[in-house]
Amino acid sequence: MTSSTSNWCSTCSEECSDVGSICTTCGEELQIPPSTNSINTSESNNASISRSNNLATNLNVGLGLNNGIDGFNDNTNMQLNPEVINYLNSIAGQGEQPPIQSSNRKATSKTFLNQIPRIVIHKHSSLFYEIIIEFTITASTKTNSSESKRDSPVILQFDAVGAEFGPSPPYDIQGEVSSLLDCEKDIKESQTSFITTTLKSASNSNSIAYMMRGKGITFVDRALYAQQKGAEALIIANHVPVWPYIMKDSKKALSQSKLPLTIPVAMIKKTDHVKLAPYLQTPSIQSADLRKHNISCRIHAKNKNENPEDNACIICCEPFEIGDTCIRLPFCFHAFHEKCALVWLKKHNTCPYCRRELPMEDQEEEEERRRMGRSYASNENVDTRANGDPFYG
């Protein structure tokens, strides 16, 4: 009876004893083991190769090539093509052999691996949630001749990380973006006085506050300020390249606050903020065309536990559980159990899921990777979003 277990790697031509859907040696997807006839055919091919090698050996002896091409020159005056000479030398064992590469030349940089933050899962972990933020930018241009022109809308869609405090997904919030990029002074003053002004949108719809991380203001203080201003949600842009970044209430500020936090908080990465920032700026009065941007936003957050396949380690196929230690790779944002990821990354410099390349341990290989500008081990089946960033899963 043929086994239906997918544990056969066609590239390595062997069974993989590790539980999972990919081979931990080469990264290929595991398949159902081939039938006995297929194995016999492979053995027959190997036997044919062996017979060919024996034939080549007999040919060497017959032509006096045991000592390479020198033996041939001793027996005949025939002139040979240089390519043929090289081939005959290689048969006799004197040809130049390619160097044997170490199996860990493609390994991920140890320094890089040590810098990736480990995540210990708890019930509020962002690993359990998926958040997508879509910005729709509409602009109207007013010229000096007082003519108004409405431009086609621009849509930007980003992945985000939810805070591990405040309301948890699922939620779906829409509203107009209110930029609070220079609110740090007001936040400090609001901690000693009552806020009397609130955010108002042009269309009287919900307001979604937008801030930049940093300047000594905690995530909780920003969220409480946005809530007091009447915002329905808060988006925080990271000001450093570190990603993913987990927002926590490390100072336990909520337990000391007189007001509960009732609005959700999500963060986008720095490169996404750079794409959005031009639309948040106020147009210069010195320009010939005055363009005003209206930015609406939708924050869609779902709980991955609703579908176990969306919340499982792709290597071992086991779901993430509270107490597990995980690694979430930067760039592509995919997460794995720490032990599963390290088995793979100590042999390969790619994400086990999407093949996004990571810094390599071998310095020469890493310099070549950077020189070539490689981001992915393969460009096949790459799904992209409106913002140009690759997205998988």
How far is it, in rounded angstroms, from Cα 69 to Cα 317?
A: 56
State pTM to two decimals. Answer: 0.59
Domain ranges (residues) in the chain: 104-121+323-393, 130-305
CA–CA distance, 248 with 233 (Å, rounded to integer)? 17
- Tell me which of 3.90.550, 3.40.50, 1.10.287, 3.30.40 is the CATH number of domain 104-121+323-393: 3.30.40
| 243 band by pLDDT with thresholds 50, 70 and 90 | confident
**Which pair of tokens denotes residue 241?**
């390249």
Residues 225 and 259: beta-carbon distance below 8 Å: no
When pLDDT is averaged across residues 26-38 and rounded to a whole number, the result is: 66
Which pLDDT band holds residue 117 (cuts at 50, 70, 90)? confident
- Write out pLDDT tens, residues 354-388: 888 999 888 888 888 888 877 776 544 343 333 33
* Percentage of the residues of the chain whose pLDDT score is greater than 70: 61
- Please give the DSSP secondary-structure letter assigned to residue 108: B
Mean pLDDT rounded to a whole number for the chain: 75
CATH of domain 130-305: 3.50.30.30
Confidence at residue 238, expressed as pLDDT on a 0 to 100 scale = 93
The three state secondary structure string of 313-376 is CCCCCCECCCCCEEEECCCCCCEEEHHHHHHHHCCCCECCCCCEECCECCHHHHHHHHHHCCCE
Please check the confidence at residue 208 and state whether its pLDDT lies above 60. yes
Residue with tokens 């936003």: 297
Q: Tell me which of 19 and 168 has the higher pLDDT.
A: 168
| Over residues 321-337, mean pLDDT | 88
pLDDT of 124 reads 81
pLDDT at 277: 93
